[in-house]
């Protein structure tokens, strides 16, 4: 990747997206940082000493994507070297305790937003024969109970990456995913707050001994899972965000980037578990959940 390359990063207001924006801006690239709020744009400008160009972008809004694309096109001469799809939501919780509106929002951001922004940017990326980097998750490869919605969304991102990688190869556009485990950013703190708020809204439905549909109270059935993710958010050490930056840089420097870069020791261990017979893997996972809850 040459110095001065144009890079659009979605979800750049915090966490991995913000770290990537600051890193590439310091190295002299034209960083177009997708943010939803003006205060986030102001913070990026201040922290980068004016090196970052914020772009107002809500990946769930067609009109916002259209306006952002026009802005990006005018600033880059109608060609974009790199798109980093980073915008995403996360929360834990069994599917039965996940309201439909929360599920729809997760899928709109993690999946449909990634599809929509990528599709809109393809003419600019094709012109530059650029790169698409999708920030996925080890959850896109490794299914864990209590993360059903998040796992489904990241599996979709991995599937999109694999198919689009072949679809765009003849056009000179390179596509890969970055699959980190827990990274040392606020995302899982935010996820636990989102989970707690979601469960609080659901609490009245679980208060009676039996639900309106004459089903037993569901809450105790999932207590072990909920306890497991509370401990996960609080106690499992996160991989430094610099490891993600290093993986993205490696992908962008490569003439033939790998399909996927797994980031973090724990993420690599979880990926290895997929080689076990299904029954063994499931038993190991469920036993670890049970132990953590006791």
Q: Which residues are catalytic?
A: 150
Q: Which two tokens stand for residue 25?
A: 């801006």
Q: How far is CA 199 from CA 97, 150, 187, 192, 203, in A?
A: 7, 16, 18, 10, 6
Dihedrals phi, psi of 111, to nearest 5 degrees: -110, -65
Q: Which residues contact 105 (CB under 8 A, 6 or more apart)?
A: 60, 89
Dihedrals phi, psi of 292, to nearest 5 degrees: -65, -25
Nearest to 124 by CA among 65, 168, 81: 81
- CB of 121 within 8 A of CB of 72? yes
Dihedrals phi, psi of 114, to nearest 5 degrees: -65, -45
CB-CB neighbours of 99 under 10 Å: 13
What string of DSSP letters covers 225-253? HHHHHHHHHHHSPPBPHHHHHHHHHHHHH
CA distance linking residue 234 with residue 4, whole number of Å = 39
Instruction: Give the β-pairing of 52-56 and 6-9.
Output: unpaired
Q: How far is CA 95 from the centre of its chain?
A: 19
What string of DSSP letters covers 64-121? HHHHHHHHHHHHHTS--SEEEE---------GGGS-HHHHHHHHIIIIIHHHHHHHHH
């Amino acid at each position: 990747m040459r110095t001065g390359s144009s890079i659009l990063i979605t979800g750049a207001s915090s966490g991995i997206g913000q770290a990537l924006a600051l890193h590439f801006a310091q190295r002299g690239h034209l960083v177009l940082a997708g943010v939803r709020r003006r205060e986030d744009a102001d913070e990026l400008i201040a922290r980068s000493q004016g090196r970052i160009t914020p772009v107002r972008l809500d990946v769930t809004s067609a009109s916002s994507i259209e306006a952002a694309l026009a802005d990006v096109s005018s600033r880059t001469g109608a060609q974009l070297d790199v798109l980093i799809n980073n915008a995403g939501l996360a929360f834990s919780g069994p599917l039965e305790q996940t309201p439909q509106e929360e599920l729809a929002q997760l899928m709109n951001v993690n999946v449909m937003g990634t599809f929509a922004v990528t599709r809109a940017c393809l003419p600019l990326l094709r012109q530059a024969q650029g790169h698409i980097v999708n920030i996925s998750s080890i959850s896109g490869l490794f299914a864990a109970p209590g993360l059903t919605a998040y796992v489904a969304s990241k599996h979709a991102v991995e599937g999109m990456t694999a198919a689009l990688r072949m679809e765009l190869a003849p056009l000179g556009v390179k596509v890969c995913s970055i699959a980190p485990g827990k990274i040392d950013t606020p995302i899982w703190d935010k996820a636990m707050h989102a989970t707690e708020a979601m469960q609080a809204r659901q609490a009245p439905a679980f208060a009676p001994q039996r639900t309106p549909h004459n089903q037993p109270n569901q809450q105790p059935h999932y207590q072990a899972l909920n306890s497991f993710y509370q401990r996960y958010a609080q106690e499992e050490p996160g991989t430094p965000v610099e490891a993600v930056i290093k993986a993205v840089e490696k992908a962008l420097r490569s003439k033939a980037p790998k399909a996927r870069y797994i980031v973090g020791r724990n993420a690599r261990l979880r990926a290895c578990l997929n080689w076990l017979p299904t029954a063994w893997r499931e038993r190991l996972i469920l036993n670890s959940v049970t132990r953590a809850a006791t």
